[in-house]
Amino acid sequence: MTRILLFVVFSALLGILQSCSSSLELPEPSTLAVSPLVSVTSGLSIQPSIERKTISEMDSSATISLALVGDIMLGTDYPENVLADDDGISLLQAMTPYLQDADIAFGNLEGVLMDGGEPRKACRDPDNCYLFRSPSRYVSYLREAGFDVMSLANNHARDFGEDGRTMSMSVLASAGIRHSGRQGDVASWVVKGRRVALIAFAPFIGSHDFLDIELARQQVHELSQTHDIVLVSMHAGAEGLDALHVVNENEFYRGEDRGNSVEFAHAVIDSGADLVVGHGPHVPRALEYYKGRLIAYSLGNFCTFWGISVGETRGLAPVLRVNLDAHGQFLEGQIVSAMQVRPNGPVIDESHAAARLMAKLSQEDFPGSPLTISSYGLVQQERASSTSVASREIQ
């Protein structure tokens, strides 16, 4: 009798467990769903990625390759049609092989991707004021060239107001290209099992504020807590042929405060950034190796079809190829020298003018740096630094 009672009780319990298990859907252990918008305390809205892998799935030895370029403006149809004869199809083709095979390809998009619309930018000096509006169909050229993420933090991102930047964001997203620039807009995705973030700063209205270094520290620190690699873009510094050198002080252009690039770059790396890429001066600038991380202070003009001078060093269009280890530390790089030859886009420069200039500037602006740049653009450390990672205490 006792055995019968035990059997009945056991059967009843088993039935209850089976009914419970059939009503629960447990997530796969290898993935973690990501909500469409993930908010952190500083108000950042992180763009979604497809999945988030567990630590056990990450390849700790994975090298992440990047291809970084400066300013891009593929032509404008405002106030008059100044577009390439072939509608821009060939502008990026010569450099596509140097972008497509990177894990991450980045550029700074000047102007808006927009069909129609009226400008919102007020020009104080019409003789030195340009408005850039590229047709939205031009996003296909960026996608085909291999771009993964773009900065929309610059002085032309709002040529057609915030509505124009919103349209650029939408057009880029429709082509699968991520973006950052507007306050709260951060790109976040997974590369080789590593969670990557890119946040873009500029000293202009509506962008992540380059001039507020303490806020930038906080934003980068928060991203470093939820991401394995944090990339920072900065649009800063004076402009033109006299702005080749990096100076550790505030820079101004036409009376406008463009901030201190050195102070900012060091501050965000101290707070958890793994690479800082600069643009804005319209000329290439030095590279700096800081606490195991790489800073590119300006990559100049990459493909600017009209309205931005490409005379002399302003026409140099380097592609900075960088390898980072799985923790974001700089391993090695290559400056692929190119130059703009209008009315065409950038083409390879066999004289390596960009590499030679950036090597010279890096030596002059950061003497004693362990970074070496060969005459053909190979970027290396003179000696391995065993203290590089340990010396960086996230603040």
Q: What is the pLDDT of residues 261-298, one digit of tens each?
A: 999 999 999 999 999 999 999 999 999 999 999 999 99
User: In the predicted model, is pLDDT for residue 186 greater than 80?
Assistant: yes
Confidence tier at 23 by pLDDT (50, 70, 90): very low
* Of 37 and 362, more confident: 362
Confidence tier at 125 by pLDDT (50, 70, 90): low
pTM above 0.75, yes or no: yes
Q: Which residues pair with 230 in a beta bridge?
A: 197
Q: What is the pLDDT of residues 73-102, one digit of tens each?
A: 999 999 899 999 999 999 999 999 999 999
The number of residues in the chain equals: 395
Question: What's residue 394's pLDDT?
Answer: 77
Question: What's residue 121's pLDDT?
Answer: 72
CATH of domain 41-381: 3.60.21.10
Which of 377, 49, 28 is CA-nearest to residue 228?
A: 49
* Of 387 and 128, more confident: 128
